[in-house]
Amino acid sequence: LAKTTQPISMDSYEGQEVNITCSHNNIATNDYITWYQQFPSQGPRFIIQGYKTKVTNEVASLFIPADRKSSTLSLPRVSLSDTAVYYCLGEGYNNNDMRFGAGTRLTVKP
Amino acid sequence: EAQVTQNPRYLITVTGKKLTVTCSQNMNHEYMSWYRQDPGLGLRQIYYSMNVEVTDKGDVPEGYKVSRKEKRNFPLILESPSPNQTSLYFCASSLGPGQGYNEQFFGPGTRLTVL
């Protein structure tokens, strides 16, 4: 099981690019890295998932270096509506459970 | 529409009165799980199920029971609720770990207050 570590909080301003890094030093060979977004009183919502190198979708990019001991979620040009808690999660091939950490609370200011 | 539903959405009860929170998914997912969320503690997994009749404990299973008699349903049972179980509960489903691309779908949450 990949135990993950993220910053507790981050602040940004509208229009800026935000990068949130997650450490997962003991990630297993078959673990995927997944990021979720959660707004207050709502369930988490899937953002992006990757195994290595770079993955991009319409919402974000995910960078995973060759050693896979960390990953970085990149949100281009954030807006006020991106204020939320972001979780990284290691999901493994042989893991029978998937655990969330405390997440990173991103606050986007005008 | 692909979704996970939970009922009730809000519940206020008293200590010791048994309750069940239902969870249902329409995506034919094998994996289902229950989480509780408390301020400052993020999401903590209570129980999960890899398939019908297969359940296992998560991080905080004490005081909870689950069952998985059908693939689509995964009820959470509190036999004797206590005030420390006051929390926001989420049910989730997915194809399951080891499936390659894997996205957990979450329900809307159940806010439980135990007096």
Would you say residue A94 has pLDDT above 70? Answer: no
Report which of B85, B79, B51 is spatially closest to residue B65, judged by C-alpha positions: B79
Residue type, A71: S
| Cα–Cα dist A88/A102, whole Å | 9
More confident residue, A35 or B41: A35
- State residue B28's pLDDT score: 94
- State residue B74's pLDDT score: 98
- State residue A96's pLDDT score: 55
Would you say residue B7 has pLDDT above 90? Answer: yes
- State residue B42's pLDDT score: 83
More confident residue, B99 or A24: A24
Residues of B with CB below 8 A from A92's CB? 97-98
Report which of B79, B76, B86, B92 is spatially closest to residue B111, judged by C-alpha positions: B86
A37-45 mean pLDDT: 92
A contact test, residue of B3, B104, B105, B112 with most A CBs within 10 A: B104
Report which of A74, A57, A71, A66 is spatially closest to residue A4, judged by C-alpha positions: A71
Share of chain A above pLDDT 90, in %: 65
SS3 category, B9: coil
| Cα–Cα dist A84/A56, whole Å | 20
Structure tokens belonging to residue A28: 């297993």
Residues of A with CB below 8 A from B40's CB? 102
- State residue A3's pLDDT score: 75
Residues of B with CB below 8 A from A45's CB? 106
Structure tokens belonging to residue B6: 């939970």
CA–CA distances in Å: residue A24 to residues A4, A47, A66, B102: 5, 18, 13, 18
What pLDDT digit, counting tens, does each position of B9-46 carry?
999 999 999 999 999 999 999 999 999 999 888 889 99
Model confidence band, residue A98 (pLDDT cutoffs 50, 70, 90):
low
Strands annotated E in chain B: 4-7, 10-13, 19-25, 31-38, 42-51, 54-57, 65-66, 76-78, 87-94, 105-106, 110-114
- State residue B61's pLDDT score: 96
Would you say residue A26 has pLDDT above 90? Answer: no
- State residue B99's pLDDT score: 62
- State residue A8's pLDDT score: 92
More confident residue, A3 or B95: B95
**Chain B within 8 Å of A54 (Cβ-Cβ)?**
no
| Cα–Cα dist B4/A53, whole Å | 32
What pLDDT digit, counting tens, does each position of B37-81 carry?
998 888 899 999 999 999 999 889 999 999 999 999 999 999 999
SS3 category, A80: helix
More confident residue, A100 or A55: A55
